[in-house]
Every structure is written in C-alpha cells, then in structure tokens.
Structure 1
Amino acid sequence: MTTTELIPVADGGRIRAERAGDGPPLVLLHGAVHDSRLWDHVFAALARHHTVVRYDARGHGRSTPPTGPFRYEDDLLLAVLDRFGFRTAGLVGLSMGGEVALDFTLEHPERVRSLTLIASSVGGYEWPRSAEAEAYAAARRGSVGSRIAELELALWASLGDRAPGFEVIEPMVRENAEAGAAAEKGHALDPAEAAVGRLDRIGVPTVVVVGDHDRPEIGVIAGRLADGIPGARLEVVAGADHYLPLRAPERLLELLLPYPSL
C-alpha cells in the first residue's frame, strides 16, 4: 500500500512524499527540473523489498515553493528521515538529487546506509564552457520555463521521444522547468563545503551509475566520483541518457535490489 503525506517545513510550506513497502529504508531524490515521477517505473518494484520513499523537492511537483533561503539537505533530514523515523537509509539520487545525497552524507554520515549516485552532479565541479551550457545556464538564471524545458529535452533527454519513458519525461520537465529553477536559487550551501574536494570522506557503500548516452560531462563526473569515493563501483548502463530510471528501469532495479543485504 502506498501512502501520501504533506510534510510541514519551516517556512510554513509542505513537501509531498509517498511511502510504500516494508524493509530497509530507501529514499529517492530527483533532479533539478524533475519531480517524484522520475521514479515511476521502479517505485513499486523497490517497495517489494524496501520501505521506499520518494518526494517532491521544494518548488517541484506538488510541494510548495520556498519563501526564503533553505537547504535541500535539511529537508531530507527533517522532513523525510526524521518524519518517517528512519535512523538510517539508503539514498538514491539523480543529478541534483545525487549532489544533495553526497552533501547530506558528508554532513550526516551516521544517517546514511548506502549511496546510489545516478547521472550525478557534485558540488564544486568546474563545468567546461560551451555555447549549449551557457544558453541553458542563462535560461535557468532567468527562470524562463519554456526555454529551460526546450533545452533540457534537447540536451539531457537526447534519446528523444521514441525511447522508453518519454511520456513521463516531457510533461514532468515542462511542468517543473520554471518553478524548479526558481526554487534552486533559494538553496543555501557554503562553497567552502563543496563535496568535490571531500569525496575521500564518504564511508558508505557507493555505486555510481551513468547512462552511455548521457552528456560527456556527466561521464567525467561519474569517473571522478568512482575514483574519489573509497570502494565505489562504477556502472555504465546501455541505452540510457540522463533520464536513466525511465529509460532503463530494469537494469537500475538489478543494481538497486541487492541493497537489503548491506
């Protein structure tokens, strides 16, 4: 059975979360212009082995937008782990969700059982300059929803509308592009605490996952994460772009379901 909660946060807003299943807790974190629909094709299967929670980050999906500075990491701790009574949990994060999971693990290592970093970004990484990257960054700075969605789908959903999962990807991106970009501007994190220089402090079992059709920069970051995190394993998934949980859900489940033994 799946239950839905609207969890209060400090500014009077609400975070929408879904919980299902029974077993070792697993929390799913989506990316910057996504919401919890990112996990539609794996959520039910994971719930057969885990107590699994997926939630919409501030300003995404059906969670309320922030009204001032906030931290995604605090929301994960207070609104999710503490709310559901999880002493520890496995964290599964894609893109920005992976970055949040990394930052959270460095800050609260005692609360994390395992990490799965899918097409992850990492705080402090210097992205190479390109015309495409500059156009995307400009659209996000201006919170221009239609332009963000257009570029997101072209650059990051490169397998296009004939590949699996596009029926979820397109509406999810278009509905979250503007509000998600605006919400991210309120996220407060000290640049001195950037994770890219502290990967050797991660002490939990970690799997780094990247699709073979993702952006080249994500492949570079994946290699850096796998090399920098002690004992981390790198998995390259065929037939997947940045939207790996929707493009190749069966392979992702194969990687995730061994976690009850950890």
Structure 2
Amino acid sequence: MRTIALERTVLAYEDVGPDGDIPLLLVHGHPFDRSMWEPQLRHFGADRRVIVPDLRGYGASGGAVPEWPAFVDDLAALLDGLRVPRAVVAGLSMGGQIALELWARHPGRVAGLLIADTTAAGESVESRAARIAQAQRLLREGMDPYAVENLYLMVSPDAPPEVARHVLAMMRSTDPAGAAAAQRARADRPDRRAGLETVTVPTVVVVGSEDAFTPVTDARVIADGVPGAELVVVDGAAHMPNLERPDAFNAALQRLLDRVPTH
C-alpha cells in the first residue's frame, strides 16, 4: 500500500505493473475498498500499470466526502500526482457512477471505460430519501446490520465461500462516517443518462445476470446510450461479477483494453 497527500485528503492506493500501455484505474464500489479488485490486480498487473485507490472515507483512506464531485476531483488529483495523463477507467456500482462522472468532468483523462453493475440515472425523490435514511442508519447502527442484510445481494447465494467472506469483511470494516457521507453525496449526484451519447472512448458495460441492485435493464440503458458500447451479462453473478466470475469479467476488461489505442 502507498499513500499520497492531496490538497484536501490523503488517499491510500496500490500502484503495480510496468509502464508502457495506458494505465488501468480501478474504482471500487460502496461499501468496499481497493481489495475488491484483487483478482484484476493479479491478472492485469503483470503486464500493465494498474492503479487501485481507496476512495475517500473507505479502506485506508480517511476523511469523508463533502459532496459528490469530491470523489472525481480526488481521482484526477491522484492521476496528477502519479503523472498519469490518461487512464482506462473501470468502476463498479458507485465506482461506475464515479467513472461516468470522471468522463463528464475530465473527459481528457479517460482513455476507455468499463462500467459495471451501475445505473446512470439520478435519484428519484424516493431513492434520494432512502439514501439519506441509510446514511443516518449507518451512523446510528454501524456497518454490521447493513453488511449482514446485503451480503447475498452483493454476491449470489452460490458464490464461493471465500468470496462471500471477503465481501462481508470489507463491508464490516468500512468506516460508517465515510460510508454515510458517500450516501449523502450520492443522493445529490446528477443524472448522466443524457450525456451517454457524448462518450467517445471505447466502452464496455458489464452486469451480473442476478444483480438486484442495478439489474440488466439499467446496464442496457448505458450500453444503448454510449455509441459502440459492448454489453456483457455475466451469468450467475449478482452485484460483484469481478469477484464471483473473475474469468468472465477479466475477459470483458481485456476486450476493452484491446480496443484502446496505445497512444
């Protein structure tokens, strides 16, 4: 693990693999940390530079985001600090929303996009209220009740036991204050569906066939909206196909990397 001091926070991150091709930036979801990308770090880090941060308020990165754009500004500042002008960006769930936001705010930093188990839609009145209520609950009760209730929505009941244990441990170890701040920030994030047609970089959209949080219909909206995007449905996986079905997920990511110009 490495750390980098940015203007407003300190981020923990992994930075492995050789320079050469455009680096790969992996953005984790809620309420996880950079360890959710272990299968991808092992697979791709042998041949390509792979950068995997803990988002502010998660894992070993302290603090809490004051508003939604802070996640994106942190990533842009991280790339600046590592002297990485552009990266192929892969994000899952909240990380996918952050990846779309990075494209919207800093398109010149994005060489390709993998959007996994994500919705581009903004919040409804009801879902916004639910996020605010969840933030309050996390602060009141801590992470354990949330983690137990949601484990077999994050992964399928047939997930390998070691995967389920890993996901549960990540959720339980998350700082409730950081997770609550993220939920409040997400409640006010913009709807990015209208901007999908502006995405001009190679894009792959991945979703688990059993994802109840962001189902295949949500993924199809993104794939249909981004010109030339590929949709990959990972059979039997729930919300975290990168952990449940890493071979299928890695194959989809490799196809994206193959489409990204090297310069």
- Aligned structure 1 segments of 4 or more residues deviating by more than 3 angstroms: 67-70, 125-129, 133-141, 160-164, 185-191
Offset of residue 216 of structure 1? 6.3
Check if 1:21 corresponds to 2:20: no
- The amino acid of 1:72's aligned partner reads F
Number of the residue aligned with 1:75: 74
Query: Deviation digits for residues 138-185 of structure 1, max 9, x if unmatched?
Result: 333322322221222143323256456123111011112624422315
Number of the residue aligned with 2:196: 199
Of 95, 99, 102 in structure 2, the residue corresponding to residue 101 of structure 1 is 99
Aligned partners of 2:161, 2:218: CA distance in 1, in Å?
24
Q: What are the ranges of 5 or more consecutive residues in structure 2 without an aligned counterpart?
A: none
TM-score (norm 2): 0.86
- The amino acid of 1:226's aligned partner reads A
Answer yes or no: is the 8 Å Cα contact 1:32–1:180 preserved in 2: no
Aligned partners of 1:126, 1:220: CA distance in 2, in Å?
17
Of 132, 137, 140 in structure 2, the residue corresponding to residue 142 of structure 1 is 137
Answer yes or no: is the 8 Å Cα contact 1:127–1:217 preserved in 2: no
Aligned partners of 2:222, 2:236: CA distance in 1, in Å?
21
Answer yes or no: is the 8 Å Cα contact 2:24–2:87 preserved in 1: yes
Number of the residue aligned with 2:247: 250
Answer yes or no: is the 8 Å Cα contact 2:29–2:93 preserved in 1: yes
Offset of residue 38 of structure 1? 0.6
Structure 1 residues 82, 153: CA separation in 2 closer, same or farther (over 3 Å shift)? same
Number of the residue aligned with 1:40: 38
Structure 1 residues 137, 151: CA separation in 2 closer, same or farther (over 3 Å shift)? farther
Structure 1 residues 99, 257: CA separation in 2 closer, same or farther (over 3 Å shift)? same
Offset of residue 260 of structure 1? 4.5
Answer yes or no: is the 8 Å Cα contact 2:116–2:205 preserved in 1: yes
Structure 1 residues 141, 123: CA separation in 2 closer, same or farther (over 3 Å shift)? farther
- The amino acid of 2:133's aligned partner reads A
Aligned partners of 2:137, 2:93: CA distance in 1, in Å?
21
Offset of residue 134 of structure 1? 8.2
Aligned partner of residue 63 in structure 1, secondary structure: coil
Aligned partner of residue 148 in structure 2, secondary structure: helix
Answer yes or no: is the 8 Å Cα contact 2:131–2:184 preserved in 1: no
Number of the residue aligned with 2:82: 84
Number of the residue aligned with 1:235: 232
Answer yes or no: is the 8 Å Cα contact 1:163–1:247 preserved in 2: no
Answer yes or no: is the 8 Å Cα contact 1:164–1:247 preserved in 2: no
Answer yes or no: is the 8 Å Cα contact 1:17–1:55 preserved in 2: yes
Query: Deviation digits for residues 20-59 of structure 1, max 9, x if unmatched?
Result: 1123200000001000011112211111232101010011
Aligned partners of 1:45, 1:141: CA distance in 2, in Å?
38
Number of the residue aligned with 1:176: 174
Query: Deviation digits for residues 71-118 of structure 1, max 9, x if unmatched?
Result: 101011002x11111111100000000000001101111111100011
Aligned partners of 1:189, 1:114: CA distance in 2, in Å?
26
Answer yes or no: is the 8 Å Cα contact 2:22–2:87 preserved in 1: yes
Aligned partner of residue 39 in structure 2, secondary structure: coil
Identity score, percent? 30
- The amino acid of 2:48's aligned partner reads H
Coordinate RMSD, CA, aligned: 2.7
